[in-house]
Structure 1
Amino acid sequence: MRAVAFLAVVFVATFFASQSQAQDAAAGEKVFTKCKACHVADEDKNKIGPSLHGVIGRTAGTHPDFKYSEAMVAAGTSGVKWDEPTLASYLHDPKAMVKGTKMVFPGLKKDEDVANVIAYLKQFSP
């Protein structure tokens, strides 16, 4: 829990410092093609991974009818909620943020790609 909180705080500072990069949903849709094998964002449908429709604001490990890893459920129980800074941290390095996650994707290395994917996901979230 302390590691998650620490990463979140560090990333929030980094994320807001890099906000000069404009978020571009169209560019994010292109980057999201890396995610489409496992996730859907434009409709509420689980695949290998949970639906990302409405993900912003959702508590980690809580999408209905998806079997999450114990680590992801524990992250949600400890208070991890998918807001922009938390998603940014997770998208950079999923296994570092939630040790034991089932997600095999290594993460997006470019801050611009992360910001753009978040802009894309925001279109499908309240």
Structure 2
Amino acid sequence: MNMRIASIFAICLGATPLWAESHASGDAEAGEKVFRKCKSCHMISDDEGNDIQKGGRTGPNLYGIYNRVAGSVEDYRYGDSIVAAGEAGLTWDEESFTGYVADPKGFLAEYLDTKRAKSKMSYRLRDEEDAKDVWAYLVSVGPEVTETDEAAEATE
């Protein structure tokens, strides 16, 4: 009996990383390298204030971006369009993130169905694989994704 429990436990432990990263198709290690382009404006700092990736403060802190409502980092002064997108239901997942970083203004214009949308983010990460890799990196250094997070994403 104890051997069976130990075997099940070992299988569950082995599957945990696969489950946790199932929502990121990119390569986190490659994404860390690509993120060097992003850190002139963005940093990654955990909830306790520990810097995971030092960077600029022009853009919002990207810690915990997975499933976060767009335009919602406390004490960051967002543009009106990204706030409106968040209020309209935009949350960050791999698809929305890669679409946004490829063309921030165009993405917001399409999401909000208005040509008047603007974005403070002028840099574009047009290579889709690079964007997926950065997403995978951000997810990998963020807080652990829970089943509740996965369920919330599935219902959207």
TM over 0.5: yes
Cα pair 1:23 1:116 within 8 Å, conserved: yes
Asked if 1:101 is matched to 2:119, the reply is yes
So what's the TM-score if we normalise by structure 2? 0.62
Asked if 1:123 is matched to 2:140, the reply is yes
RMSD over aligned CA atoms reads: 1.7
Secondary structure, aligned partner of 2:40: coil
Secondary structure, aligned partner of 2:71: coil
Question: In structure 2, which of residues 30, 34, 38 is the aligned counterpart of residue 31 of structure 1?
Answer: 34
Q: Give 2:150's aligned residue.
A: none
**Structure 1 residue 94: deviation in Å?**
1.1
Asked if 1:87 is matched to 2:97, the reply is yes
So what's the TM-score if we normalise by structure 1? 0.75
How does 1:60-71 map onto structure 2 within 5 Å?
Answer: 60-71=70-81
**Structure 1 residue 92: deviation in Å?**
1.2
Question: In structure 2, which of residues 44, 59, 71 is the aligned counterpart of residue 41 of structure 1?
Answer: 44
Gaps of 5+ in 1: 1-21
Quickly say closer, same or farther: Cα 1:42–1:119, change in 2 above 3 A: farther
Letter in 1 for 2:29: A
User: How high is the sequence identity, in percent, across the aligned residues?
Assistant: 42
Secondary structure, aligned partner of 1:32: helix
Tell me how many residue pairs correspond in the alignment: 104
Letter in 2 for 1:112: E
Letter in 2 for 1:94: P
Larger radius of gyration: 2
| Aligned-partner Cα distance in 2 for 1:81–1:23 | 19
Q: Give 2:3's aligned residue.
A: none
**Structure 1 residue 109: deviation in Å?**
1.8
| Aligned-partner Cα distance in 2 for 1:96–1:36 | 22
